[in-house]
């Protein structure tokens, strides 16, 4: 098929798309393909639109494409209401809003339980926030539920390494459960020389005990990849996209229905309580629509039933907070081991005295000996000023034709080994793919063969300069003879540009 025939086919497809976009009020009669593509891309994909509305409410369908699986459902009304009874609702320290569950028109009644009896005498409490583990709560003497501020460090595990900020460890203030350790982890590494200098550093959280620098390598490698994408159209619109499986362009025709402005009124009849939005494009002007009462109540020591005024239904009941004279200890969970020894607090079982040991300041120094690479932090509260630490060393090496083992000075560990670049006299042939046929006759070069560099003599023909012209319509290619050319041009006239500019 000629280029001229392809251009004619593209013009026909453009005109079909343009006529449909003009008919929908989304395009102009002079739009080119790129204008039409922008207009189609601007159509919103709303997917499956779903909503539930009550009497007196409405739902506006947004402009754009709808896939046909969404629904707008009305809750039954008009004297045939589906109501829900709730309760008993237990009063809390905060105000609550009681509403009907999804699928109910409203509430037929709400039962409110009496104020809970789970409270404790807090007059003997002496524990304060700093005496209690963080995340644990107690009720202090004034009745306030107070969260502990003592950090719960649990089992603190710390591995020291060669980073500047991680050569020592300060044991944080707070509680430790006795299972934490501070240690160092030794490792050996190897390095293959490259064309740039390398810093061989330990893996995060470790220190080096040895670095093996390999001999200069004989081979190297390189890789790359590509990808592609496609789009969607309104019903009757035609466009072309790339088929990545077949490896060629293909024509596609849009199947998205244009529903325009869809409007629907719901009522209480059995067959009109919901509306399924049809798949396709909607212009955003469609609508769907139902009256309610709210009440409030304050918790008391006796249960209350809140019912709606005659002829109405409840949309919500606002229950006020429990009066401030009540102090609730139900949700406290601190036990004796969570609070510093000899400190008194109250939990849901009553008055309790803390048993957590106060360790004060703990200090320890680690080294590389087998029995001194870690330290177990004892359980209890720590003052935050104890430390655990180590000492490091740096070394350097230059690549040679033989492997080298870089080890630390006796009594030290490596924090870094700097490996110099491969000397300039060595050339990397790993990525070479040339053969004699790709090198100009009479010239020599090196390339890789069976993992090693070899010298080859060129055999490529020298064709000198070339010159040719093609128009892209009747003449679409020019065959260049195999071999080397010293220059010249193969030119494309502007015939095809003039034809494409009119699409």
Please state the domain extents for the chain: 436-500
pTM for the predicted model, two decimal places? 0.25
**What pLDDT was estimated at residue 228?**
26
**What pLDDT was estimated at residue 234?**
60
**What pLDDT was estimated at residue 350?**
76
For residue 71, what is the enclosing H or E element? strand 71-74
CA pair distance 362, 377, nearest whole angstrom: 8
In 386-434, where do the E strands start and end?
387-389, 392-397, 404-406, 413-419
H helices of 353-481, where? none
Burial class of residue 80, CB neighbours in 10 A (0-12, 13-18, 19+): exposed
**What pLDDT was estimated at residue 368?**
67
What totals of helices (H) and strands (E) does the chain contain, helices first?
3, 39
**What pLDDT was estimated at residue 386?**
86
**What pLDDT was estimated at residue 271?**
60
For residue 183, what is the enclosing H or E element? strand 180-184
pLDDT means per 10 residues in the chain (503 residues)?
A: 78 89 86 88 84 72 80 62 83 83 82 76 84 88 87 87 81 87 87 81 84 70 30 58 58 69 60 68 65 75 76 70 73 87 84 89 78 82 85 83 78 78 76 83 84 84 85 78 85 76 68
Selection from 313, 312, 352, 307 nearest residue 332 by Cα: 352
């Amino acid at each position: 098929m000629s280029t001229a025939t392809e251009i004619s086919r593209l013009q026909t497809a453009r005109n079909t798309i343009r006529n449909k976009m003009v008919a929908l009020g989304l395009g102009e009669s002079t739009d080119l393909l790129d204008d039409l593509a922008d207009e189609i891309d601007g159509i919103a994909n709303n997917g499956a639109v779903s909503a539930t509305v009550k009497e007196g409410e409405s739902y506006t369908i947004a402009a754009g494409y709808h896939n046909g699986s969404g629904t707008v459902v009305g809750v039954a009304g008009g004297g045939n209401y589906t109501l829900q009874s709730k309760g008993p609702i237990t009063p809390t320290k905060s105000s609550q809003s009681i509403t009907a569950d999804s699928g109910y028109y409203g509430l037929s009644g709400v039962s409110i339980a009496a104020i809970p009896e789970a409270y404790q005498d807090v007059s003997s409490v002496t524990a304060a926030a700093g005496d209690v583990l963080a995340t644990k709560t107690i009720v202090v003497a004034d009745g306030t539920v107070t969260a502990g501020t003592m950090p719960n460090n649990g089992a603190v595990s710390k591995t020291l390494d060669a980073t500047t900020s991680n050569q020592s460890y300060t044991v944080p203030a707070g509680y430790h459960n006795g299972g934490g350790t501070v240690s160092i982890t030794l490792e050996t590494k190897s390095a293959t020389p490259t064309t740039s200098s390398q810093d061989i550093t330990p893996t995060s959280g470790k220190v080096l005990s040895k670095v093996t620098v390999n001999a200069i390598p004989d081979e190297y490698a390189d890789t790359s990849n590509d990808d592609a994408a496609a789009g969607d159209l309104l019903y009757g619109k035609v466009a072309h996209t790339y088929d990545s499986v077949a490896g060629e362009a293909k024509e596609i025709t849009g199947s998205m229905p244009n529903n325009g402005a869809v409007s629907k009124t719901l009522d209480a009849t059995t067959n009109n309580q919901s509306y399924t939005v049809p798949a396709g494009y909607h212009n955003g002007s469609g609508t769907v629509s139902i009256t309610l009462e709210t009440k409030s109540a304050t918790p008391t020591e006796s249960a209350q039933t809140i019912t709606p005024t005659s002829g109405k239904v409840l949309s919500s009941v606002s229950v006020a907070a429990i009066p401030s004279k009540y102090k609730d200890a139900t949700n406290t969970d601190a036990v004796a081991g969570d609070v510093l020894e000899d400190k008194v607090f109250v939990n849901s079982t009553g008055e309790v005295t803390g048993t957590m040991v106060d360790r004060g300041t703990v200090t320890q120094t680690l080294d590389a000996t087998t029995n001194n690479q870690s330290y177990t932090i004892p359980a209890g509260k720590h003052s935050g000023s104890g430390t655990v630490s180590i000492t490091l060393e740096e070394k350097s090496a230059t690549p040679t034709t033989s492997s080298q083992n870089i080890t630390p000075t006796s009594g030290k560990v490596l924090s870094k080994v700097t490996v110099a670049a491969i000397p300039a006299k060595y050339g990397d042939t790993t990525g070479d793919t040339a053969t004699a046929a790709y090198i100009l006759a009479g010239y020599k070069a090196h390339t890789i063969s069976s993992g090693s560099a070899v010298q080859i003599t060129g055999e490529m023909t020298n064709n000198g300069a070339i010159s040719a012209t093609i128009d892209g319509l009747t003449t679409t290619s020019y065959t260049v003879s195999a071999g080397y050319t010293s220059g010249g041009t193969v030119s494309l006239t502007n015939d095809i540009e003039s034809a494409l500019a009119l699409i």
